[in-house]
Amino acid sequence: MKTNQSIAALCLGTLLLAGSLLAQEKPIVSANLALTPPMGWNSWNKFACNVSEDMIKSMADAVVKSGMKDAGYVYVNIDDCWQVSRDANGNIVADSQRFPHGMKAVGDYIHSLGLKFGVYSDAGSKTCAGRPGGLGHEYQDAIQYAAWGVDYLKYDWCHTTTQDAKASYANIRAALDAAGRPIVLSICEWGTAKPWLWGKEVGGNLWRTTGDITDRWGGQQKWPDGSCCSNGVLAILDQQVGLQSYAGPGHWNDPDMLEVGNGGMTDTEYRSHFSMWAILAAPLIAGNDLRNMRPEIHDILTNKEVIAVNQDPLGREGERVAKNGDLEVWAKQQKDGSRAALLLNRSDSEQEIAVSWEDLGYPASLSAAVRDLWQHKDLGKMTGKFSARVEPHGVVMVAVKP
Ligand code: GLA
């Protein structure tokens, strides 16, 4: 017969075992993804539906050869139009003309270069280009993506009729996790249902905050048919004001992919576009043809000092700290206590712009080292403020380090 003491010990042991089993809950496979803003390349801005195995493979080669990989770009993402139908079992079918060896072969090639593989689908019944969407096939598709070695899924919002955005994105995240492969989830809902309020909770790693970017400098304009709206980079920038507190490691505001190098803006404007995205802690997803970049475009996309601002491990999104008409100052706190500051001249003439230490959250009396991140030059120690002449549509970007 057991003594009271041994029965008590047995009960305690059972409790401890149950407790430790609970504590060892299965880790979520998608935890720790995108701890800094994702960097890579996506087909849409330049190629739209004109995607193919050959083009994607040669672009992946170019990511490596151009030095983009060394600069931190890792995802090679195929956007809309790789898919054509579903088979009798409901499996998604890739375009066999354009992807003759199937999607896994493309993923394997991308992985063989030390890069990561992204695809695109849609939460509704069809993608924005009218291809089959994911609705009702979320778990089946997630298993397929995992089998292909997909590392990143951009999930769009066309043809969703009465669907609830938060529930739809929670569903695809649960499906991806159930498939067992860590996959970055890029929520592409255009900001309509304020995804910054719920994107992190449903396991989104980034969420679009606006409609699509156009390769244009200016503000919002109606499309020729009268519908709303074409967003130039300034229009997109303005829509980021006030969203900074929602971003952080693993979950980022996404002001859409880069247009740098696509031909619609001057090199000065592209430098400004890239600097804005860097200070916003935005995903840096290039959207140009990397196989034949001009050196000026290459030097913008691979500026390691500007990229370091974007990739700072503290994960703070920068914010606008001063505005005087067309002259703005944006600032971003970095992990080492320094600040990145962007002096932005939106006007059509050269202007003097100053950033005061107080705007950066420093006392005016502080002496701080200033470094120009585009000139790659130390400008010396300064007290109270830094000012510079800024070209029209241009920026001066500095690091200010006490
Ligand atoms: C939407 C998205 C774009 C792109 C296209 C593809 O417009 O916002 O980024 O993915 O669909 O059709």
Give the tens place of pLDDT for each residue, 141-190: 999 999 999 999 999 999 999 999 999 999 999 999 999 999 999 999 99
User: Over pLDDT 90: what percentage of the chain?
Assistant: 90
Does residue 122 line the site of ligand 1, with CB under 6 A? no
Asked which of 91-95, 229-233, 278-282, 367-371 is least confident by mean pLDDT, the reply is 229-233
Query: Tokens 């200033």 map to which residue?
Result: 370
Residue 59's closest CA among 128, 109, 120?
109
Q: How far is the CA of 320 from the centre of ligand 1 (A)?
A: 28
Q: How far is the CA of 383 from the centre of ligand 1 (A)?
A: 46
Contact 382, 339 (CB under 8 A): no
pLDDT of residue 30: 85
Contact 94, 102 (CB under 8 A): yes
Q: How far is the CA of 357 from the centre of ligand 1 (A)?
A: 40
**Average pLDDT of the segment spanning 269-277:** 99
pLDDT of residue 110: 99
* Cα gap 94→339, rounded to integer Å: 46
**Average pLDDT of the segment spanning 218-244:** 94
For CA atoms 31, 37, 41, 46, give the dihedral sign. positive
- Phi and psi for 132 in degrees, rounded to 5? -60, 130
pLDDT of residue 24: 53
Q: Which residues are catalytic?
A: 156, 212
Q: Cis check for the bond before 229: say yes or no (omega within 30 of 0).
A: yes
User: pLDDT by residue (tens digit) across 276-300?
Assistant: 999 999 999 999 999 999 999 999 9
Q: How far is the CA of 3 from the centre of ligand 1 (A)?
A: 71
The protein residue whose alpha carbon is closest to atom 12 in ligand 1 is 128
The protein residue whose alpha carbon is closest to atom 9 in ligand 1 is 212
Does residue 79 line the site of ligand 1, with CB under 6 A? yes
Contact 78, 56 (CB under 8 A): yes
Asked if pLDDT for residue 8 goes beyond 90, the answer is no
Does residue 188 line the site of ligand 1, with CB under 6 A? yes
User: Over pLDDT 70: what percentage of the chain?
Assistant: 93
Q: How far is the CA of 156 from the centre of ligand 1 (A)?
A: 7
Does residue 159 line the site of ligand 1, with CB under 6 A? no
Q: How far is the CA of 157 from the centre of ligand 1 (A)?
A: 9
User: pLDDT by residue (tens digit) across 32-87?
Assistant: 999 999 999 999 999 999 999 999 999 999 999 999 999 999 999 999 999 999 99
Asked if pLDDT for residue 125 goes beyond 70, the answer is yes
Does residue 175 line the site of ligand 1, with CB under 6 A? no
Asked if pLDDT for residue 20 goes beyond 60, the answer is no
**Average pLDDT of the segment spanning 328-346:** 98
Atom of ligand 1 nearest to the CA of 154: 10
Atom of ligand 1 nearest to the CA of 127: 12
Does residue 169 line the site of ligand 1, with CB under 6 A? no
Query: For the stretch 12-46, what's the b/e string if a residue is b when 16 or more beta carbons lie within 10 angstroms of its beta carbon?
Result: eeeeeeeeeeeeeeeeebbeebbebbbbbbbbbbb
Atom of ligand 1 nearest to the CA of 190: 8
- Phi and psi for 395 in degrees, rounded to 5? -135, 155
- Phi and psi for 325 in degrees, rounded to 5? 65, -120
Which H or E run contains 184?
strand 184-187
The protein residue whose alpha carbon is closest to atom 8 in ligand 1 is 212
Atom of ligand 1 nearest to the CA of 188: 8
